Structure 1
Amino acid sequence: MLQRLVPVAALIALLAAPVSAFAGLELSEAWVRALPPVQRNTAAYLTLRNAGDSVITVTGGHAAGADRLEIHRSEQVEGTMRMRQVSELTLAPGEQLQLQPGGVHLMLLGLQKMPAEGEQVELCLTLAASDPVCIVAPVQRRAGGADHSHH
């Protein structure tokens, strides 16, 4: 009887974890920026950690309710903050990358409707060498740094 309880307990612990992980990539601290309902695009932020023993390459993704999801990097260009699309993110074993306002982030483009504060959005990242990794992100207004409400 104890042998049957151990796998069930392990499964319950895995499902209760606040981190989404697959193929060594852990996703945590995800959130989507709430913007006025007339906006068609918004940004999403989260932390990525390579808990595996090989390089992980994120090549894109998708988000519930959006036509497309792109990886972007905010950078200063001639005194003006601009966004530039990034084709991929590469994480070495043990490396962590925080996607945050004013830096690397995800853009949810072509939203069918702007998610409201308090709702949740499923974000899935596409990996070069394995299946997508997904996490559910709450929608909130907090800026967490520089305000990039123009997203």
Structure 2
Amino acid sequence: MNASRLLLGSFLFALASAASAATACAPTIDKPWVRSAPPGAKSLAGYLVLRNGCDAPVTVVDVESLDFGMPMIHRTVEEGGVSRMRPAGKLEVPPGGELRFEPGGLHLMLMRPLRPLADGDVARVRLVLADGRRVFAEFPVRRAAP
């Protein structure tokens, strides 16, 4: 009986270790910031660098925030000589790769602020990964890129 318990315990430990190893590595958010806007603005833009130091690709599928009623991920594209914002869709970051959210390109569109945000404030934002994990960062509100 003790041998079967030992085998079962070893199996469960190995299973838990494998699951932990699979989720232990997570991408990181570097250089986060939100561009400040005039009081009463209905949307702000957020920027960051998402780095994937893991051995497997990660896919960003959404964005969430306690400070905005409708956060989205957009990409600026040129259509017929006019710049337009379009939903970015799913974004895959390869192992060892990075994804840059920059003015004029990929960015967070932070709509419907739930509180006034001025220079020096911090917005709370998290990216949602395809596997359900979330990557959180505090985004300082600034007039210009750091």
TM exceeding 0.5: yes
Structure-1 separation of matches of 2:56 and 2:29: 17
Alignment of 1:20-35 (within 5 A): 23-35=25-37
Find out whether 1:125 has 2:127 as its counterpart: yes
Matched AA of 1:127: L
Instruction: Render the CA deviation track for 1:41-72: whole Å, top value 9, x for unaligned.
Output: 11100000111011100011112221121110
Question: Structure 2: which 5+ residue stretches go unaligned?
Answer: 1-23
Structure-1 separation of matches of 2:128 and 2:38: 28
Task: Flag the structure with higher helix content.
Answer: 2
Q: Name the residue aligned to 2:48.
A: 46
Instruction: Render the CA deviation track for 1:68-112: whole Å, top value 9, x for unaligned.
Output: 211100011111111001121111101111100000001111112
Q: Which residue, 105, 111, 114 being the options, matches 2:113?
A: 111
Identity of aligned residues (%): 34
Matched AA of 1:44: G
1:143 Cα offset (Å):
5.5
3-state secondary structure, aligned to 1:82: strand
Q: Which has the larger radius of gyration?
A: 2
Q: Name the residue aligned to 2:62.
A: 60
Structure-2 separation of matches of 1:99 and 1:50: 14
Matched AA of 2:125: L
Q: Name the residue aligned to 2:76.
A: 74
Structure-1 separation of matches of 2:133 and 2:102: 24
Matched AA of 2:99: L
Q: Name the residue aligned to 1:18.
A: none
Structure-1 separation of matches of 2:77 and 2:61: 20
Q: Name the residue aligned to 2:143.
A: 141
3-state secondary structure, aligned to 1:121: strand
Matched AA of 1:67: G
Structure-1 separation of matches of 2:56 and 2:120: 36
C-alpha change, 1:143 and 1:49, in structure 2 (3 Å) is closer
TM-score normalised per structure 1: 0.77
* Runs of 4+ off more than 6 Å: none
Higher alpha-carbon deviation: 55-64 or 99-108: 55-64
Residue pair 1:120, 1:137 contacting (<8 A) in 2 also: yes
Residue pair 2:33, 2:145 contacting (<8 A) in 1 also: no
Structure-2 separation of matches of 1:42 and 1:32: 7
Residue pair 1:28, 1:48 contacting (<8 A) in 2 also: yes
